[in-house]
Amino acid sequence: MTFTSNDITILLLSMAVMLFVARGMGELMRLIKQPLVIGEILAGIILGPTLLGFVFPDLFNGLFNKSQSSEIILQGITTISVVMLLLVSGIEVDLGIVIKQGKKALWISIMGILFPFTLGFLMAWSFPQYLGNTSGELHLVFALFVGTALSITALPVVARTLMDLNLFKTEIGYLIIASAMVNDLIGWIIFSLILGMMGSASHSLEFGSTLTLIFAFIFIIFFVGRRLINYAIPFIQKRFSYPGGILNFVLILGFLSAAFTEYIGVHAIFGAFIIGIAIGDSVHLRENTREIIQQFVTNIFAPLFFVSIGLRINFVSNFDLGIVLIFLVLAFAGKIIGCGLGAYFGKMKTEESLIIAFGMNSRGAMEIVLATLALQVNLINEKVFVAIVIMALVTSISSAPLMDIFVRRIARKTQFRNLLRPELILFGELSNREQIIAALSQIIERKLSLSMDSISSKMIEREQSFPSGIANYLAIPHIHMKVREPVLAIYISSKGADFMATDGLPSKAIFLLVTPENENELHLKILAEIVRKFQDLNNAETITRAKETIELINMLRESNAY
């Protein structure tokens, strides 16, 4: 097979067009706060038989179907692209975050895989004809594939969504990221086993041998290779030119690892992903190096792969509404129920559980990579492939707005004005600090089903070390406890009590605040809002003269200084 000058010209021209349209569509998605990958996939649909091939068939065939040799070269480039993409995805996995989040992340990951996998497997096993598998061939493998395709969360999409919602560096953001990392790792191991069962590699091995080699490979990379890489990186960065030396080292390891897993009967992408995790775990890998690799791959190689998806298939002629709806229902139900229950078992609040569930519901690159491989080995047909791509797009697009609904709901619940509850407000003549704290603890006990003694004793103990009197008749005894949401109880004392305020005035407005553990930012925010209402002495005196609950609530809400 010869590769002529004309073939080279067409190949280079087609790559330029792919990158140009991918960048344009990616930037358009960025403007509307959607992941770039969505724009890149849409670019492929525009350039493929769905649109360009339908409107201008000669132009489409001239660019992308000119000769067999150029098509083979383009396929080779997209294969390298997906290997590079998975290498970067592995580098992005932070084992430290996974370990730190511990049981919560494990609960969410396991349930987030178990539910969608079970739903997908049972549907594909019991009713394969509804999912496009009418031949009955590779029945078990097909069912395993559908379960896996519904289970994996798209880590890059999740990270971008969290950044857009300003949740990336929050406790809930770290938990979602950690859960997605574990989810990806387990999902790829399962899919590697599926590929091993199919015996799709060029060097055929028995499935038992392939299975043994997979787990031996993972064990060696994580327990031996990871340490060797950690020693090698500082040596290379010191002795070789930067950044060329370390970039070569990373790519060499990536290609070698990918070649090994391809050889043993598992696709090359699995090896790239596993070695990427080991490389990314090194504390010596500079942030600048990570950024260079990430930018290089996501702006050049990743677009070529995602555009190539649309070039292969006509999304209109292969669109089957029934199959698409089945995949969407299974995807949403499996992930949201599974991850939501996992978060709930991890002692998360209902709204937080739903934020995690919708965050983990994002699919994207991983599902599309799996579907592409399955299509290449004829495990699925074009209609199933189109349904999986649409499922990935819909779940990714819907993730951020659905998460935002519950983020706003939590924000409303934790706003000071919404913490003012009539049943948690008392008026009286108590002038003893301990008695006031005990009275407020009692009404909180009724709301939270907590022990009054535990609240009261902890509050009084803290008062002895850190008096909560502020100024202008205000005192704010406060504490962290194992509660799901903040609670605020108020006592208006006509006589006032000595909370050792800085200005020497008796405290007539006592705000007793209980907030969840590890919610320091929320705790400080509520404290600051209360203090702002008492900064003006006249305003403070007006508030302390209130005689009725509704009157007090209205005063506090009207004086709210946002």
DSSP per residue, 1-70: ----HHHHHHHHHHHHHHHHHHHHHHHHHHHTT--HHHHHHHHHHHHSTTTHHHH-HHHHHHHHSS-HHH
Band of pLDDT at residue 414, cut at 50, 70 and 90: low
Return the SS3 of 429.
Answer: coil
In the predicted structure, residue 201 carries a pLDDT above the cut 50: no
User: Residue 17 has what pLDDT?
Assistant: 93
Half-sphere exposure of 511 (CA within 13 A, CB side): 29
What are 327-370's pLDDT values in tens digits? 999 999 999 999 888 888 877 778 888 888 888 888 876 777 78
Mean pLDDT of the chain, nearest integer: 83
pLDDT, mean of residues 80-84: 87
With contact defined as beta carbons under 8 Å apart, do 306 and 37 qualify? yes
Band of pLDDT at residue 503, cut at 50, 70 and 90: confident
User: Residue 36 has what pLDDT?
Assistant: 80
Rounded Cα distance, 179 and 124, in Å: 26
Percentage of the residues of the chain whose pLDDT score is greater than 90:
19
User: Residue 462 has what pLDDT?
Assistant: 82
In the predicted structure, residue 1 carries a pLDDT above the cut 60: no
What are 544-555's pLDDT values in tens digits? 988 888 888 888
In the predicted structure, residue 228 carries a pLDDT above the cut 90: yes
Give the count of beta carbons closer than 10 Å to the beta carbon of residue 531. Answer: 15
In the predicted structure, residue 91 carries a pLDDT above the cut 90: no
Considering only residues 99 and 468, tell me which one the structure prediction assigns the higher pLDDT: 468
What are 308-318's pLDDT values in tens digits? 888 878 888 88
With contact defined as beta carbons under 8 Å apart, do 400 and 33 qualify? yes
Rounded Cα distance, 500 and 273, in Å: 60
pLDDT, mean of residues 87-115: 81
User: How far from each other are the two terminal CA atoms of the chain, in whole angstroms?
Assistant: 72
User: Residue 397 has what pLDDT?
Assistant: 81
Q: What domains lie within the chain, and their CATH numbers?
A: 5-412 (1.20.1530.20), 416-558 (3.40.930.10)
Band of pLDDT at residue 450, cut at 50, 70 and 90: low
Give the count of beta carbons closer than 10 Å to the beta carbon of residue 411. Answer: 11
Which positions ≥6 away from 528 have C-beta within 8 Å?
none
b/e per residue 486-502 (b: at least 16 CB within 10 A): bbbbbbbbeebbebebe
With contact defined as beta carbons under 8 Å apart, do 86 and 274 qualify? no
Q: Which of 5-19, 93-107, 146-160 has the highest mean pLDDT?
A: 5-19
What are 31-79's pLDDT values in tens digits? 887 778 788 889 989 998 889 988 998 888 888 876 667 677 877 888 8
What are 103-115's pLDDT values in tens digits? 788 888 889 899 9
Return the SS3 of 514.
Answer: strand
Rounded Cα distance, 35 and 158, in Å: 9
Band of pLDDT at residue 166, cut at 50, 70 and 90: low
pLDDT, mean of residues 177-183: 80
Rounded Cα distance, 523 and 171, in Å: 14
Q: What DSSP line would sit under 333-362, residue for residue?
A: HHHHHHHHHHHHHTT--HHHHHHHHHHHT-
User: Residue 24 has what pLDDT?
Assistant: 94
Considering only residues 281 and 254, tell me which one the structure prediction assigns the higher pLDDT: 254
In the predicted structure, residue 234 carries a pLDDT above the cut 80: yes
522's tokens: 């929320």
In the predicted structure, residue 518 carries a pLDDT above the cut 70: no
User: Residue 526 has what pLDDT?
Assistant: 84
DSSP-H helix ranges across 199-243: 207-220, 226-239
